[in-house]
Structure 1
Amino acid sequence: MEEVDKILIHTLRQVGTEVGEDVDRVNQFTSELIVEAVVRCIRVIDPALGEGLPTSLPPGMSARFRVGMSLAQACQDVGYKGEIGYQTFLYSNEPEIRSLLMYLVEKMPRESSEASDQPTGKSAVLHRAIAAAIKGQLAVSWVPLNCRLPLHCETQNKAASHSFHVRPLSSPHCINGQKYLKEVKDYQRDFLLPITAQCPSQTSMMSSILEQHTADLSSAQEWDTEWKSQGLLSRLTPQEYSSRKLTRLRKRIEEQLRSAAAPSPESVFSVPRSTSELSDLLHTFRGSTPSDLILTKGSHFTHTQKFTFTQEAAAITSPVHTGRQSEGDAQLRQQEELAALQQQFQQLSSDVDLMVADMKHMSVTNAQIFDELKQREMENTKNEEKMQVKKKTIDLLPEADSNLQKLQSQVEASANRVVNLASQWEKHRAPLIEEHRRLKEICSTKDLESSTKLSEIKSLHEKIRAATVEAKKKEESYKQLVTELESLPQDESRSAYTQRILEIVGNIKKQKEEITKILSDTKELQKEINSLTGKLDRTFAVTDELVFKDAKKDESVRKSYKYLAALHENCNQLIQTIEDTGTILREIRDLEEQIETETCNKTVTNLERIMDDYKAIRQENSALAAKVREG
């Protein structure tokens, strides 16, 4: 039983029961520890059933009885068929508790994928407890602070909530096998602040870390998806594919910048406007900039004209005043000049708008004219070809007969040449067709092989991912087992445990052999007893028949018959006495076992505890009655 108790205690510790290090037997379990162990096991077997059960006993005796009844009902609900009640938990005995814990441990799911994937140990139990607490808090509806009752204070925090602020963080990690330069590594080692110091407040640190972690995960998943869908088909290495993609992106940005920075009239009016987001953004930036600040290319005449106009405007806005004027006349003159300049500016703006509209109209008209010109040039070339054919035909008309004969001879020669070329082509065509078919078959086989290899590569990627996940899980389990091994006492080695297991197995084998030997001996004795009993009955019947025949004739034989009958009766009584003695001995052994069981059940101690609990209940009842009378 000692080994069984150790296995039970180890399993209970794995499910989260706080069993002390000095507890190594079931008879050392207290009532509180029994209740906690049973509730933990029920929560693993049926979480919905064990969610409402407390893991500790309340202080009041009546509440303890109710908890014991609810635990007994829960154990029956999970399928326990033994005798169980509140006394099993409050006034427990070793055999009942051991049988109950053995049933619950065997009932726990072991082969399910969820149970097999979950790691064991205190840290895993703590993580599961945290997850369960978070799920429970998320299931409770949120109540405003002013409307909260004392019941909500246990599940909802009274502290002020904070909004979700995210700050950009910089962490020294490598992405997609990228190697940083020495300067970057020196900066990260000597100058980069830790993440906890990069956030201005502690409230935004957790949200920033979560946001960065989510962004890293999403980018890694996007890269994995893109590589499996497009990267494998390109048949390039990941580094070559990334550099090629970066080069294409840079070229596209340069083209968009060039087209947005200096658009030509032809590209504006003849080429449709790009609908890409980058082009729209650049056009937006360009449209929001004042027209006089845009750096555009122009001729020397344009710059000279603009400079001359600027000087004239400066000359207009700053006239030379020879005489002294009053302050009011100066303001009036400035207003008049400003109105004149505004009117001039509006006139110039309207002229520019008209010119732009005329340019657009002219560009559209120019494009249409260019299209018509191209179409007419194509028509002219076709008409010229037709005219040349007709001209040659007209030139041949005066000598029509001779020309027809020459044409006929040329046609026959052409036909003969075509037939000769066709025969030659057939000679070359057959091997070429065979070669084409052979190459086509080779291409199809290579395509099939490439597709199969591609599918194999994808399956290998999936296997690698699964193996990586499994390796991580095994590595975590290995680390956890190593820590548990280090925490275990080192005075006993593995060989000692193995030797103990082998001794236990050897003792079990010896016990089985002894039991088998005893059973065989018992069967042999029973067979011998049955054979002797049958032989005795047959001997008595034959002797009785022979003596009874002679008893009718001789008096001495008659007395011998009476003695024979008395001997047979005394032998039967002796056999019955022996059987009764064996039965009494078995009953004595059963009573001794019952006495030992009752001794192990601590009946006297339980009776004393029951009397103490009874007195406590009476005191609670009297106190409640006094409160009722006072109320």
Structure 2
Amino acid sequence: MFKYYPINMEETDGIIIENLRKVGCDIENEVTSLVQFTTEMVIEGVVKCLVSIQSDLQLNHRMPPNLPARYKLCMEIAKACKDVAGYKGDLGYETFLHGSQTEIRNVFTVIIQKLPKVNEQPIADSVADPFQYTMKKIQNDILRQLHQPWLPSFCNFSCDNSLPFHSIDLTKKAFNSSGKVPQLSTIPHTQLIPSLIEKHLSELAADKYKYKFSVRKVNIIKKEQELPVLAFNSRFSLIRLLQYAEADKKKKKPLPPPKPSHLSGVSKSKTEGPTVEEQCQQLTIIIENLEQDLNLKHTELADVTEEVAKMKSMIECKEAKQNAQRKELDRQEKLYALLPEAPAHLERMKTLLQSNQGKMAVLEEQWLEIKKPFDDEYQIWLLRHENSTGEKLKAALEHTVMSLRSIVEEIRTKEDTIQKLQTHIESMPPSVLTRTFYTQRILSIVANVKKQNEEMHRVLEDVKSVQREINSIQGKVERTFTVTDEIIFRMAKSDETARRIYKYLISLQSDCSDIQKLVKESGNLSREIKDLEDQAETELRKNIATKIRRLQSDLEQIRTENQILEERVGTTS
């Protein structure tokens, strides 16, 4: 069963009024609920909230004296509420001019939820005192200066005697404007240590470079010594030997003539470079030969794999053909073995067929004799089951009707008690309602909501179980009707009473279906009646009659204003 606990809206009205005061609305302390709000107060509060959400919004928060201007302003405010605040309900100019308390409350709750937080966008009107504003500014400046790092006066780059820093490459010689490199007899004291470190590093790099290429040369010589040992097993080894032979021929060059002794030091320094180049050429030739060998092996491997795949597919096809030929050969051998005695085999098959037909007839007669008593017993049990299921269905329907009536009565009693409690709370003075009272009220509302959810889930489960039972019973009834229809229809061919029973059965089936349809229609009608009652209650809450009266009064006022304007135009013309 459902329990409804209406919430007192004075709490929400207090929260809305407090937020409107923070935004900058001039609301008196005597105003405690939205009932006391006028149209001007509503428009001012909505416009100021929208401006605090979006600062570049151009809306007037003062009500114009002219009615068309009012309608235009209210339409602009409604559009801004949908665009800026994201209001998704029905909203128009009549909501602000002649709206009910609930509609205005819904609009304010949506807009106040979209207001920026204090840490995101502070409200400008909150700092109204200039003394507080200056003190806040001084505090911010002091905090900013404290967070900056401290530097002494001689480290400040904005001094007059400061020079910009730039790096110097010590390995390169300085170049003057005349184009001549100056010969330094001595290095200055400031550049002595960096020049020594740079020279030492260059010597170490040169030694490392020479050592690396000498090791590579030794490895190349070892490989060349190992090449003749290879066996001439394949064309790849022969190609490799030929390539190495060509490379050796290319390497062999005539030796230069000996140089004089006074130029021996210079020749040594010059011959070191070509040896390194020759080693690099030898390495490139060896790498190219190895790459060619690797490519040849890759191509040969690809060809071999393709040939293997082709051979495998051919073998599989031949095996499949061979198996099919073996099966065909076995079948033909069996047929050939049966050909000499074909008439005898035909006679045997005929005799077997006749004997099987006789056995089948005897078994059918025996089956009918055994089946007849079981069929009679089945019909008796079926009729009993039909009577019992109908009674159970009727009892279940009566039980559900009684439970629904009790639920409705309980809802009415609860609503009466709620109204009494609400009137009692309204009659209490506002000083009694402390913060603890509000917290207890909130906790009780949360507990009641949880109870409502649990009861709703329980009722839904009960409804689902009842619906399952009804569906299963309906299926059983339909199956029993079909079975009895078939049985009585067979019996009606030879018995007059069975024909009458068949007619009664058909009429009973039609009556039951009509009763079922009527029950469904009554349930649908009751549901529709309940929905219409809810709609009527909601329409009554909207106070449409009062809104229509206000609109009629506005229309009459507009007509009078139009007449006055027409008279003015006539007098001026």
Q: Where on the TM-score scale, by shorter chain, does this alignment land: which range?
A: 0.3 to 0.5
Which structure has the higher relative contact order (CA within 8 Å, separation 6+)? 2
